[in-house]
Amino acid sequence: MTVLQLAQAAKSASRGIAAAGSQAKDRLLVCLSCLLLEHRDEILDANRLDIDSAIDNSIGEVMVDRLTLTPDRITAIADSLVEMSKLDDPVGLIESGSKRPNGLKIINKRVPIGVIAVIYESRPNVTVDAAALCLKSGNSVILRGGKEAINSNIALVGIIKKALKESGFSEHTVGLVSDTSRQSAKELMELTGYVDLLIPRGGKELISAVVKNAKVPVIETGAGNCHVYIDKYADIEMGLNIVENAKVQRPSVCNAAETLLVHVSVADEFLKKIYKRIGSRVEFRGDDRTVDILPGISHAYEEDWFTEYNDYILAVKIVDDIETAVSHIEKYSTKNSEAIVTDNVISAEYFLENVDSAAVYLNASTRFTDGGVFGLSAEIGISTSKLHVRGPMGLKALTTTKTIILGNGQIR
């Protein structure tokens, strides 16, 4: 099917999923969970084709990890669907209500958005997460993944369609754009009248291109140039643990730390210790003062402060005070996740109040910015926009409100 045909079919199918009751949608998610486990070998075979292609094309180790599905990861995806089925359904929720002096009753009610399109890159788990979130919130969805995961995505969407049919829904409720050319993405961005919301999920270049070129409404998500600031009052051991986790635990994701800021008064001790701990795994790129403490590391240039590496690379800068740290974050951050490590209440309050990002942490790793961790089950992305929703986007973020007015003959 062409992109337009997919959108037309999704628009038609959206009425069925929007009208479905909570129990029917939850049964669909449980059915999909069972089918993923039942077809695990088929999914892994398709994923192996993508991995082999990635290796043949010299895609880096970290990006291959983003692409890879394993039996454990498939089980985790299946388990997340069961957990999602247990969450409250936002559709139909009465947000507010009032009665006007003329007798009109005003009711604000949660309803599905309609048709949601998701453009994303190499992580095939997004295919299931995005589809499930849209279905649970009563929306149709059009998925357009990257070429790196096309075999995995075809297999996964085939299983999703099987679950839809077995559960009594139109298989067109979920569509996959199998053409991974730029032209197909452009067509999807321009489908006014069919696509009600477009969510890009991936690197900075992808998100910027969608925000710049889309004619349909867009929520900006995902890019993660995240910072950890080690304050002069930091617990050094805590800081070491947080930086190691934020950088090394999974560097390919958007909530991994890319820049380390260290107060000058603790810089010598902290930088030597963190380099000893992770320097064999992570390339350090530092400003002049950092290079003086860690001779032999690379110099950081202006572009490094802007870069989301998604790799074992860390930009490091020594700052004279917390105000300079916050100013650096304000200039270079993508407004995703930032952290301060400090035992000082005044420093903590200043950082938490003045850093303008979707998630701001005190004494914890940025790696926690995640829908599951925040109690949302899966997420469709992490919004760095300020309109509609901000931070991890769960079920409620995929609904809007409808105002219902009940009268008994009033005229104006």
Q: How many residues are present in the chain?
A: 412
Whether the CB-CB separation of 220 and 211 falls below 8 Å is answered with: yes
If one counts every other C-beta atom within 10 angstroms of the C-beta of residue 405, the result is 10
Q: Give φ, ψ of 108 to 5 degrees.
A: -105, 120
Contacts of residue 235, Cβ cutoff 8 Å, sequence gap at least 6: 341, 343, 363
pLDDT computed for residue 205 by the predictor: 80
| H or E stretch covering 49 | helix 40-56
- Distance (Å, whole) CA 164 – CA 173: 8
User: For residue 372, what pLDDT band results from cuts at 50, 70 and 90?
Assistant: confident
Pure H helices in 214-263: 236-248
Whether the CB-CB separation of 40 and 70 falls below 8 Å is answered with: no
pLDDT computed for residue 386 by the predictor: 80
If one counts every other C-beta atom within 10 angstroms of the C-beta of residue 334, the result is 20
pLDDT computed for residue 377 by the predictor: 67
In this predicted structure, the answer to whether residue 371 has a pLDDT above a threshold of 80 is no
Residue ranges of domains in the chain, CATH in brackets: 3-219+393-406 (3.40.605.10), 226-368 (3.40.309.10)
- Distance (Å, whole) CA 369 – CA 291: 31
Angle between helix 236-248 and helix 264-278 axes, rounded to 10 deg: 50
Residue for token digits 């942490």?
Answer: 361
197-246 pLDDT, tens per residue?
999 987 778 888 888 889 999 998 767 899 999 999 999 999 999 999 99
Q: Any bridge partners for residue 229, and if so which?
A: 261, 340
Contacts of residue 53, Cβ cutoff 8 Å, sequence gap at least 6: 148
Q: What is the mean pLDDT of the segment spanning 332-347?
A: 96
pLDDT computed for residue 222 by the predictor: 66
235-281 pLDDT, tens per residue?
999 999 999 999 999 998 889 999 999 999 999 999 999 999 999 99
Q: Could you give the C-alpha distances from 168 to 24, 80, 161, 241, 349, in angstroms and in order?
A: 9, 22, 11, 49, 52
Tokens of 181: 């050319």
Whether the CB-CB separation of 318 and 290 falls below 8 Å is answered with: yes
The amino acid that residue 192 corresponds to is T
- Distance (Å, whole) CA 404 – CA 339: 42
In this predicted structure, the answer to whether residue 374 has a pLDDT above a threshold of 90 is no
- Distance (Å, whole) CA 364 – CA 194: 42
In this predicted structure, the answer to whether residue 69 has a pLDDT above a threshold of 90 is yes
For β-strands 382-383 and 105-112, DSSP reports them as unpaired
In this predicted structure, the answer to whether residue 179 has a pLDDT above a threshold of 80 is yes
Q: Is 143 exposed, middle or buried (0-12, 13-18, 19+ CB in 10 A)?
A: buried
User: For residue 58, what pLDDT band results from cuts at 50, 70 and 90?
Assistant: confident
Q: What's the whole-model pTM score? A: 0.82
Q: What is the mean pLDDT of the segment spanning 330-334?
A: 95
Tokens of 99: 């009665």
pLDDT computed for residue 7 by the predictor: 96
Pure H helices in 214-321: 236-248, 264-278, 288-293, 302-306
| H or E stretch covering 260 | strand 257-263
Q: Any bridge partners for residue 340, and if so which?
A: 229, 362
The amino acid that residue 353 corresponds to is E
User: 92: alpha, beta or left, given left = phi > 0 and alpha = psi -120 to 50?
Assistant: left
User: For residue 409, what pLDDT band results from cuts at 50, 70 and 90?
Assistant: very high
Q: What percent of the chain has pLDDT over 70?
A: 99
Whether the CB-CB separation of 209 and 218 falls below 8 Å is answered with: no
Residue 257: closest CA among 245, 274, 271, 269: 245
pLDDT computed for residue 60 by the predictor: 81
User: For residue 328, what pLDDT band results from cuts at 50, 70 and 90?
Assistant: very high
Q: Helix (H, G, I), strand (E, B), or coil: what is residue 127?
A: helix
